[in-house]
A and B are shown apart, each in its own frame.
Chain A
Amino acid sequence: MSDPVSPLGNARFDGFVSVREVGPLGMITLRAKADVKELAAAIKAAVGTTVPAQRRVVINGDRAAGWMSPDEYLLVLPYDQVAAAMAAIATAMGGAHHLAADVSDARAIFRVEGAKATQALQKLMPVDFATLEPGELRRSRAAQVAAAIWEQDGGFTVVCFRSVAAYVFGLLSHSAQPGSELA
């Protein structure tokens, strides 16, 4: 069995905010219509949270469930517990129409931390951070690639595709250059 590695080997940059690549982190994409009654039990079994409301992320320690679209949820959990969670989802969903996929190795995750974390992201994303609510998961783009962000533990978690991990890390670290704070 090979050891899982995060795309950039937990790279880190310290500017006016710190940018660090975290991981490997377990991620499961769960697709099912919101009215499927088995859904709540499946999410509970996998990450121990309630079904997130529209555009929300529910955090439970090192696990989380996020709302990605009307029929798609993102489950975040420790990497080595994905297989167990996948089995739990399959049991809980039973015959209900759904799709659960292990996307842990398809993603890269960054943490942007510091008092001015918003400023580093503001320069890259067409998101109005003033109206971003606590516990909101926002899917958008970071410069030229898709990214999702949510606020957690006094910083932001940024999720993007693994193939663009180096690009996004470059963007974030450039955006966090000391002296480039917004007024």
Chain B
Amino acid sequence: MSAHAPEQSNIPFWRDERYLNILAQILVFAIVAGILYSLWYNMNRSLEALGLPLSLKFLKITASFDIGEKLISYSREDTYLRAYLVGVLNTIQVSVLGIFFATIVGIIIGVSRLSGNWLISRLAGAYVELFRNIPLLVFLIFWYQGLFLKFPDVRDALRLGDFYFSKRGIAFPWGIPTETFQSYLYILGFGLIVAIVVGIVLHRQGVKTGRMPLIGLWSPLTWIVIGIIGWFILPQAPLTPTIPELPEKGFNIIGGRVFSPEFMALLSGLVLYTAAFIGEVVRAGIQAVSKGQTEAARALGLNGFQTLRLIVFPQALRVIVPPLTSQYLNLTKNSSLAIAIGYPDIVHVYGTIINQSGRAVEMTAIMMATYLTFSLLTSAFMNWYNKRIRLVER
């Protein structure tokens, strides 16, 4: 062992920091690997003793259970994999809508807290304190049992135009894709490309002439016009409307699209809860912009809204985005509480699958990988955005 002593040095290797550094790394690695290996070994041995060696083949087996809410076609004859996909899409649906609405509500709350109006700022403050200090699970159950299940029975559904409100959910008119829907998607894709090209051209022109045209107006307008033209060019409208109606006899409202009480409770719970945190993030971001900036803007003659939009917000955004990312991640992960109110999200379907197939280890690994993917994608996007808006120092 002494052969390994460092060259041209009298310090023995066990007191040489260069060696110790490497040694420590190797040791940490060995410890982590050892623990992981022993867990893995132990699990495999137990599973073999039960006659359940690890395998993913079960995903191809017929699921033979039904799922109430689905965004893609699914029946009991489909595989476990497809059943899981139904759960994944349900989670995505509630997360995307949740993030969208939570951001809007959160910004309103955050700005209101700083409002000069005493009542508005206090109300916003009370909102934040109320919603972020009660566990989300309690909220969900409250929304579900206390609000959405207290709607009128489906027979006495509350009707507002073509909207029906009842214990069976909120039914509203919707479009059903027809045969030409696929082609219409291509037209929309084409329109998007044209819109982007228009945007780039206008931007170049602006840079050249020094007068920036309203890209934010012209570019989307191009897309919308192409969309409208496409709608009428096609031999058949890509969507046919379906209007909800209450049949004379029967259990449920027919037609239209229905947001179930479970979905509504989960969405509103997630939005209101996360909005309280986003409100605080926004407030902190705005307050991080030094007062001198506002004063300078005012001195230049900008009004209150202009100051907020042109001076304060762009600077606050740099502070807001990183914590906002974690709120988005939280919202997605919190959607797993759906299990308490019977919304078939990932965890819900996962539970049924492991119970019917007995594949707890495999399914848990798949579920962890799914959530991890969601989170990494979200934070990758937010990091990209953060990079784009950060202060460019020249």
Are A and B physically bound partners?
A: no
